[in-house]
Amino acid sequence: MLVKTYGAALFGVDAKTITIEVNIAQGINFFLVGLPDAAVKESQQRIKAALMNNDLKYPAGRELTINMAPADLRKEGATFDLPIALGILAGSDQLSSEKLDKYMIIGELSLDGNIKPMKGILPIALRAKNEGFEGIILPKEHAQEAAMVEGLDVIPVETIREAVDFLADELSIAPVQRIAPKLSATSLLSTIDFSDVKGQENCKRAFEIAASGGHNVILIGPPGSGKSMLAKRLPTILPPMSLDEALETTKIHSVVGKLGKNVGLVEERPFRKPHHTISDVALVGGGGYPQPGEISLAHNGVLFLDELPEYKRQVLEVMRQPMEDQMVTISRARFTIDFPANFVLIAAMNPCPCGYYNHPDRDCSCPSGTVERYLNKVSGPLLDRIDLHIEVTPVSYTELREERSGETSEVIRNRVNKAREIQRRRFEMEIKSNLDDGGVRLSNTESQSQIISSNADMSSKQIRKYCQLDSACADILKKAMEKFGFSARAYDRILKVARTIADLDGANEIGTRHIAEAVQYRSLDRKEWGG
Ligand SMILES: Nc1ncnc2c1ncn2[C@@H]1O[C@H](COP(=O)(O)OP(=O)(O)OP(=O)(O)O)[C@@H](O)[C@H]1O
Ligand SMILES: [Mg+2]
Ligand SMILES: [Zn+2]
């Protein structure tokens, strides 16, 4: 008898439905076909044991053929155990096949028939919903994660026995109710806050600008000046994630198994801090069966590269393309996988090897020439994508002792939200007006660059359109370029940042004070730093 069950295979951060056909006939052989990997091939042994340990029978003395389709997709891992096992039971008349086509079924069996936790449930549940399955049968630990998908019955099971009894209508399992995600600003789960940071008003202002415009930041300052402390707090002033953003981010964390048990959704913007010894594959993603890297785990959040000059140059180089595209594309002979990677980058570094160059009351002990060489280690591709250079000087003892605490993250975040709203409207109007102009859908690359949400992502064309300067502003910018010896790359960065400062100010046009402030955030382009 031929029976069909349905499982799923992960493909990047998405899942594909796998149809499992079980045919039981005369004979004694066991065939498993359809590009299974070693773990799938071993399923026969696990299934045999699991069935026997649960008073179920493995059909002895029969020929079992199991075909997994589509055949060209490699089937990885052990999560097909459960759908295969249920197919075998239905094929040998131990279970009615009536309800089998209503559910996507996933789960790895242990020998005693328990069902083990696994990776990538959210993309699988989304696929189940999109393919019109009524529900999904899965390991209990992941019920909340799958329940984020609305309109899908999530049936948690702990053992193969429970799955069998449920499908035979001998056990009723109520679909798991979704716990509403807490994405609103008021319920941010953070225990850290900007009000913990004493003084540092200039730095906080720069962070507010970075959060508002989505600008990448580099912090330059001596040891202990609070760089790490500040960096960690950036996510607390970013707007809360939308449900779509949270789902996207959760998918990535889910496929690498970084989502905790019984967790439904990544509710806070991620903050990732990979160590400087990280490999390029671990940073951007890759591997034989491609997995997302740190920059994708930081998707919709913050990536913090502390001690930037310590990272291998080649590791930083591989970030260039993803930062341009806000996604990583990994190509293999048979397929290409995209992992989203849209994050705000914060880099931090000491100003020189000893750490005290430009320090208010300590002397730099570095031999001449070392400072420049040190900075050169990070110049180039990555620095080209960083809009704000922030010099962090340590706060004084008196400031540290002060009782009065500064603004809370919530107060700052409210201003950030307003500035973001202005940008959202601006770029939304642009899409509309482009469609009105004859309604021609723009070419793929062009339309992608059009659908942006923050000033940091403006193309040069958009910069010319939205960052127009009157003669007074142009004059200030020209003088600053000359005075500080800014390189050409500083020019567009200053305009973008000025646009964000004007948005925070609620101003339609960029004014002189906006330009004057923006100019201050280009320390590394100044001649004295070797820019
Ligand atoms: N402005 C501040 N307000 C309150 N505490 C501060 C401030 N600046 C520094 N600190 C204290 O000093 C500690 C060290 O700061 P932090 O680790 O952020 O410095 P850093 O610049 O990252 O140093 P390093 O270069 O060594 O990594 C913080 O954990 C915090 O306790
Ligand atoms: Mg630090
Ligand atoms: Zn030094």
pLDDT digits (tens, 9 = 90+) for 199-213: 899 999 999 999 999
Residue 178's pLDDT is 84
pLDDT tens-digit profile of 244-291?
899 999 999 999 988 877 778 888 899 999 999 999 999 999 988 889
Which tens digits make up the pLDDT trace of 2-31? 999 999 999 889 999 999 999 999 888 888
Fold of the domain built from segment(s) 2-167: Ribosomal Protein S5; domain 2 (3.30.230)
Distance 223 CA to ligand 2 centre (A): 7
- Atom of ligand 1 at shortest range from CA of 226: 18
Kindly report the protein residue whose alpha carbon is nearest to atom 14 of ligand 1: 224
β-pairing, 14-26 vs 2-11, is antiparallel
- Does residue 304 line the site of ligand 1, with CB under 6 A? no
Decide: 198 in ligand 1 pocket, CB within 6 A. Answer: yes
Q: Ligand 1 in contact with 506 (CB < 6 A)?
A: no
For residue 230, the ligand closest to its alpha carbon is 1
Q: Is the CB of 232 under 6 A from ligand 1?
A: no
228 lines ligand 1 (CB under 6 A): yes
pLDDT higher than threshold 60 for residue 448: no
Determine whether the shortest distance from the Cβ of 229 to ligand 1 is under 6 A.
yes
Helix (H, G, I), strand (E, B) or coil at 67: strand
User: Which residue ranges does the chain devote to CATH 3.30.230.10?
Assistant: 2-167
**Closest residue by Cα to residue 117 from 146, 153, 89, 95:** 146
Task: For 179-232, write each residue's pLDDT tens digit.
Answer: 877 775 543 556 889 999 998 999 999 999 999 999 999 999 999 999 999 999
**From start to end of 311-450, where are the E strands?**
327-331, 336-340, 344-349, 388-391
The pTM assigned to this predicted structure is: 0.87
Instruction: Determine the distance separating the centroid of ligand 3 and the alpha carbon of 223, expressed in angstroms.
Output: 11
pLDDT of residue 442 exceeding 50, the answer is no
As annotated, the residues of the chain forming the CATH 3.40.50.300 domain(s) are 185-411
CATH assignment of 185-411? 3.40.50.300
Residues 6+ apart with CB under 8 A from 127: 8, 14, 15, 16, 17, 104
CA 454 to CA 310: how far, in whole Å? 30
Q: Tell me the CA–centroid distance for residue 124 and ligand 1, in Å.
A: 42
Q: Which-ligand-closest: CA of 373? A: 3
Enter the tokens of residue 360.
Answer: 């208010």
% residues pLDDT > 70 (the chain): 94
Higher pLDDT, 451 or 397: 397
Question: Ligand 1 pocket, 221 CB below 6 A?
Answer: yes
Q: Is the CB of 310 under 6 A from ligand 1?
A: no
